[in-house]
Amino acid sequence: MNIITWAPFTNSELDKIYDELREKQFNDRSHRLWSNYSKDFLKYCVAFTICFENKKPVACSSISYRDCWPRDCFRILNRTWKPYERLRFPRRLSLSIINSAKDQIAWLEKNTDMKTVFISRQTGNWQDWLMTNLNNHNLNFQKDKHFYLTCPNPTDDSCWQRIIYQGDKKILSSWQRKTL
């Protein structure tokens, strides 16, 4: 397994692979979240990640940042997908995703002033499952009882999401949130 995380436009070969895989995901209208993979999400990405097994890309994701989040707080495993696998509800998280999360955290520690990382989803019933899978690999994520503003439109219900996080919990108090 070889995982590479890099800043956009710093490796043209990897940028091309990532964009081709993103475009394929976007064009797959059978995926319920296909529209999330339009080029629009790229403007918020601070890094891309591809996990390769035997030189074949098996998992892709990104690290993002938005102005509506606290400073030094980044979303990892943003727009995560597996280019050649379509399991709707896996029983456990693959090592490619777990190791991608580890690589993204290491990249942020090396390249930013990151204080907190988070993963968010709009749907329910994912936090405990994901935390268990990640924490079994010493990633130490936590959750709380809030929805956080994940995009700049507080009137859009899809912008309020549950998170799991790792890092400085105090940062969360400066983030616009709602109690569940």
- Boundaries of every domain in the chain: 2-179
Sequential DSSP letters for 116-157: EEEEEESSSS-HHHHHHHHHTTT---EE-SEEEE-SS-TT-G
Residue type, 24: K
Predicted confidence (pLDDT) at residue 124 exceeds the cutoff of 80: no
- In this prediction, residue 155 carries a pLDDT of 94
- In this prediction, residue 89 carries a pLDDT of 53
- In this prediction, residue 93 carries a pLDDT of 83
**3-state SS, residue 32:** coil
Rounded Cα gap, residues 160 and 178, in angstroms: 8
- Give the range with max mean pLDDT: 50-54, 127-131, 154-158: 50-54
Residues 6+ apart with CB under 8 A from 65: 44, 46, 73, 74, 75
Predicted confidence (pLDDT) at residue 99 exceeds the cutoff of 80: yes
The total of other beta-carbon atoms located within 10 Å of residue 3's CB is: 20
- In this prediction, residue 135 carries a pLDDT of 93
- At the second CATH level, the architecture of 2-179 is 3-Layer(aba) Sandwich (3.40)
- In this prediction, residue 90 carries a pLDDT of 58
> Which stretches of the chain are assigned E, i.e. beta strand?
2-6, 45-53, 56-64, 73-81, 116-121, 142-143, 146-149, 160-167, 177-179
pTM across the whole model: 0.92
Three-point CA angle 123, 60, 69, nearest 5°: 55
Q: Which tokens is 47 given? A: 């890094």
Under the banding of pLDDT at 50, 70 and 90, the label for residue 74 is: very high
Rounded Cα gap, residues 169 and 142, in angstroms: 9
- In this prediction, residue 119 carries a pLDDT of 96
